[in-house]
């Protein structure tokens, strides 16, 4: 394998057992067993895992400024997150942490440097674990930097990547992958979030205009988010659309209930998004 063919993103709430305020080690183990060179894992979870670890040790949450708390939790959780992935990913493979910020994608030289590094991962039997670098991110400074980029380059798309769904979409575009899987704690996108029977299994269209219209219609039904600070299903759909318009086939499905293989081969319920007719939708064979 000398190229990336699959980007897998997993959200914070999928990595923990919320009822126990603890890490879901079974999920780490199951997903890690399916990761192979040629895949990139975009893993959220540092902030939430750091928060849980702090609470276990101190018996309470931090009581400072919310932005400072996020920074401190992320710094504490990042080490645990990476150690857990390394513990469960096959010892036959290298595991490489990649912490990114918006500047790594908005600057052409940094973007190319990152692209070459990710290509080397595929060639060197390494699995990159990518995460937004919350521990060094200051929201006010980031917004100012992004505003300057918009002003200096008004005709270029500027990415923020503080949401790892966007990070996954940008990495997929950068590497020209075939498939992107967004793993969540839900089965996919619902027309009615309160009714599991309304799972939307396919959002497929033969052209960009129709796909945009179908995504917009779905976003009208998206309310709330899985945790404070998360952007929810509406933002997830926006980033999925970005990838689909670049020719990436997007799968949104449950990490809690199904194996990655089952989502890829179509045997598990999920939401599939692509620019194609329904009978043309193909499934990546990256883990075969």
Per-residue pLDDT of the chain (288 residues; tens, 9 = 90+): 568 899 999 999 999 999 999 999 999 999 999 999 999 999 999 999 999 999 999 999 999 999 899 999 999 999 999 999 999 999 999 999 999 988 888 889 999 999 999 999 999 999 999 999 888 876 655 565 557 655 766 656 766 667 899 999 999 999 999 999 999 989 999 988 889 899 999 999 999 999 999 999 998 887 654 444 445 788 899 999 999 999 999 999 999 999 999 999 999 999 999 998 665 665 443 333
How many beta carbons lie within 10 A of that of residue 166, not counting itself?
A: 24
Q: What is the pTM of this model?
A: 0.89
Give exposure, 84-123, as e/b (b: 16+ Cβ within 10 Å). Answer: bbbebbeeebebbebbbbbebbbeeeebeebbeebeebbe
pLDDT for 152 equals 63
pLDDT for 226 equals 46
Q: Taking a C-beta distance cutoff of 8 angstroms, is the pair 179, 252 a contact? A: no
Six token digits for residue 59? 């018996």
Closest CA to 84 of 49, 119, 36: 49
Quote the CA–CA distance of 57 and 73 in Å, as a whole number.
Answer: 13
Q: Strands 16-17 and 22-23: what pairing?
A: antiparallel
- Angle CA 202–206–211, to nearest 5: 60
pLDDT for 138 equals 66
Residue with the two structure tokens 């979409």:
169
Using CB atoms within 10 A of its CB, is residue 192 exposed (0-12), middle (13-18) or buried (19+)?
A: exposed
Which backbone phi and psi does 240 adopt, to 5 degrees? -60, -40
CATH 3.40.1160.10 assigned to domain 6-280? The reply is yes
Quote the CA–CA distance of 275 and 205 in Å, as a whole number.
Answer: 5
């Amino acid at each position: 394998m000398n190229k990336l063919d699959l980007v897998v993103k997993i959200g914070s709430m999928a990595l923990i057992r919320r009822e126990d305020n603890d890490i879901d080690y079974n999920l780490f183990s199951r997903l890690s067993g399916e990761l192979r060179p040629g895949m990139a894992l975009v893993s959220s979870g540092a902030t939430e895992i750091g928060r849980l670890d702090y609470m276990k040790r101190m018996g309470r949450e931090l009581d400072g400024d919310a932005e400072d708390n996020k920074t401190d939790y992320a710094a504490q959780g990042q080490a645990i997150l990476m150690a857990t992935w390394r513990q469960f990913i096959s010892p036959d493979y290298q595991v490489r942490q990649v912490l990114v910020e918006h500047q790594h994608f908005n600057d052409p030289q940094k973007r190319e440097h990152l692209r070459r590094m990710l290509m080397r991962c595929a060639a060197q039997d390494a699995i990159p674990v990518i995460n937004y670098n919350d521990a060094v991110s200051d929201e006010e400074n980031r917004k100012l930097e992004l505003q300057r980029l918009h002003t200096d380059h008004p005709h270029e798309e500027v990415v923020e990547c503080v949401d790892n769904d966007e990070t996954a979409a940008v990495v997929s575009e950068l590497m020209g992958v075939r498939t992107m899987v967004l793993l969540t704690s839900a089965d996919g996108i619902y027309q009615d979030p309160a009714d599991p029977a309304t799972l939307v299994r396919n959002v497929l269209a033969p052209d960009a205009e129709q796909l945009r219209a179908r995504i917009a219609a779905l976003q009208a039904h998206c309310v709330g988010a899985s945790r404070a600070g998360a952007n929810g299903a509406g933002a997830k759909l926006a980033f999925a659309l970005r990838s689909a318009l670049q020719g990436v086939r997007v799968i949104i499905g449950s990490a809690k209930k199904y194996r990655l293989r089952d989502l890829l081969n179509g045997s598990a319920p999920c939401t599939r998004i692509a620019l194609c007719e329904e009978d043309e939708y193909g499934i990546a064979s990256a883990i075969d």
